[in-house]
Structure formats: structure tokens, C-alpha cells
Amino acid sequence: MRARDIQRIAVVGAGLMGHGIALEFAANGYDVRLHDRDEAQLERARGSIAEGLDQLAEIGRVSPAALTSAPERIAMGTDLCATVTNADLVIEAVTEDLDVKLALFHGLDRWTAPRAILASNTSTFLPSQLAAATQRPDQVLVTHYFNPPYLLPLVELVRGPHTSDETIETMRDLYQRLGKAPAVVQKEVPGFVGNRLHMALYREALAIVAAGIASPEDVDIIVKTGFGRKLGVVGPFELSDSSGLDVFLAVTERLFPVIDASREVSPLLRDRVARGELGVKSGTGFYHWTPEVIAALKQRMGQGLAVIARLSDD
């Protein structure tokens, strides 16, 4: 199957990621079926889809007409079999529970047409684990989005040992048609690539705070207003090449021996979780979170990502 053959898309799971995946395909003219076991979650997804489309319209990523037509292309329902039966592509975005996902992929393998590609938005499990529940391991992969999926262009295409080149190329072509930035992860590893890089930074940030070198607030300032801005336009290898590999060699020789390399989870993080200090969801974490502060953060994130998306289109 080629990207041009994919016309009907099913998204299983209407939560944080699922509704965003569905709205982006619908905004690009695809017919989408969105499933969730919970009717209330589907109702919440309707409101979230409208908000996401408004954001895309504000930055010129969708036309005013799409504000009306895109929701009409999304059929929602709680009948899983009916949702996926005629799909050319199924993207799973349910809870991060391996047993739940395995049962789902086993069902998808039985209910979908033999040509259908089966993808997962998991950030935890390997494609080979999911493919083992099917009779079509060559058509199974992970399509790892980043939140919010309709504003962040990256999708990691993670292949398992049996994922075919045709499946990878079909999905790469499909996402390029959507204006996204698909990146192929050639060998499955825990965390794929994006999360491994993110957690490497987070490990060092925790170590810096735990050692009293800087506060969480100042670490965030350094990342946001320093190299974080640069990494929005150049990657680490582009950056090292442009600065000079000899310069980076000298820096790594000095810093690699002293950068945190612990294989244990930071007590700084464990202790906060043990105290119920979970961040936004509990009202306190490394920061104190009031409803007003939470709303301001969401607005700042949405506006910032929208600006970056607009610049990328220019």
C-alpha cells in the first residue's frame, strides 16, 4: 500500500493525544473515525478538537472553511469493530498498559482488512511487542507523536525487526503530505530517540538542583532563554559541525567525566512523588500551581508553539 491509498483512518483512544491526531488528519481532508469506550471522553474530545482547530486557524495552518468541514469528517463512536473495519490505517492512542494494547492489537488484526497498517502512539512499548499480537508484523510500527500533536511536527516512525520498508516509506510519505517531520528510528530501543534525549537532559537538570548548583527556576531560565532557543532551529549535530568538532571535542573531554551518569532515579524526584507533589495535577511540584498559573502556562505553551509553527511555514 502507498500513501495515496490511505483514505480512511481510525484513531483508537480519544484522550490527550488521540483527539489531536484525529483533528490533524481531518483538517487535511481525511475521513477519520475516532473511538473511545467512554462517551463522556468523546464529548470532551469534541470540545478539544474545536479548540485545536481554532489554534491552527489563528496561525493560518487551516482555512476558515476547515473549521466547519474538519469536525464533520470525524465520526466518533464506542463500537471498536465498527470504527476500524474499513480503515486503511489504525493509530492506537490508548492507556500505556501493555496487556490492554496487546488485546487491542489482537482485535485489530482480526477486524481490519489485510492491507491495513497498524500503528501505536506508545512512548513506552516496542513495536515488536505489539506486532507479536498480530499476523502482520511487517505492517506494524510505532508512530510516536509529541504533545500537542497538531502543533509539533515531529513523528518518530519506529520500526520493529519485521516492519517492512514499504510500511515505513508509506508512513513517511503520508506524514510529509500532512506537512509533518517524520524521523525514522531504525532500531527499536526503550524511549526511542526523542524521549532518550529528553531524559538525558532531565537527569542532568535533577542532578544540578540536587547538588545545590542552581534552583529549578534558574535551570528552566537557562534552558528556555539559552541553548533551548537555538535547538529550535538547529540540531545537536548541526550545532557541533557549525561550531567546530574540535571545539566540541575539547568541551566533551572536560565535561563528560563530571556530567551525571547515574543509573538510579534521582531521590529528588522520588521524594516529591512520595509526598504527593506531582506538579500541575496536585497543585505543587517543583513549582506551586494555582488554576490561574496553570491557565497561563497552557496559553504560553500554545502561543509559543503556534509562533514556531508559523515561522516553520514561512
291 cis-preceded (ω within 30 degrees of 0):
no
Q: Pick the catalytic residue from 195, 204, 240, 277.
A: 195
Quick check: 168 and 185 in contact, CB under 8 A?
no
Which ranges in 178-274 belong to alpha helices (H)?
194-210, 216-225, 227-230, 236-243, 245-255, 267-274
Q: Which residues pair with 151 in a beta bridge?
A: none
Enumerate the β-bridge partners of residue 279: 284
**39 given a catalytic annotation:** no
Determine the straight-line distance between the first and last CA of the chain, rounded to whole angstroms: 32
Question: Buried (b) or exposed (e) across 149-175, using 16+ Cβ within 10 A?
Answer: bbbbbebbbbbbebbbeebbebbbebb
Report in angstroms the alpha-carbon separations of 76 from 79, 149, 151. 9, 19, 22
> Which amino acid, residue 272?
R
Known catalytic residue: 123? yes
Owner of C-alpha cell 542532578: 207
CA 283/CA 231 separation, integer angstroms: 30
Q: Exactly one of 24, 35, 92, 144 is catalytic; which is it?
A: 144
Q: Give catalytic status of residue 156 as yes or no.
A: yes
Which residue carries 506537512 as its cell?
179
Q: Please confirm, yes or no, whether 288 is among the known catalytic residues.
A: no
To the nearest 10°, report the CA torsion of 230, 234, 238, 239: 0
Catalytically annotated residue among 24, 48, 123, 188: 123
Q: What is the dihedral of CA 242, 243, 246, 252, to 10 degrees?
A: -120
Which residue reads 505543587 in cell numbers?
A: 284
Distance from chain centroid for Cα 308: 17
Active site amino acids:
123, 144, 156, 195
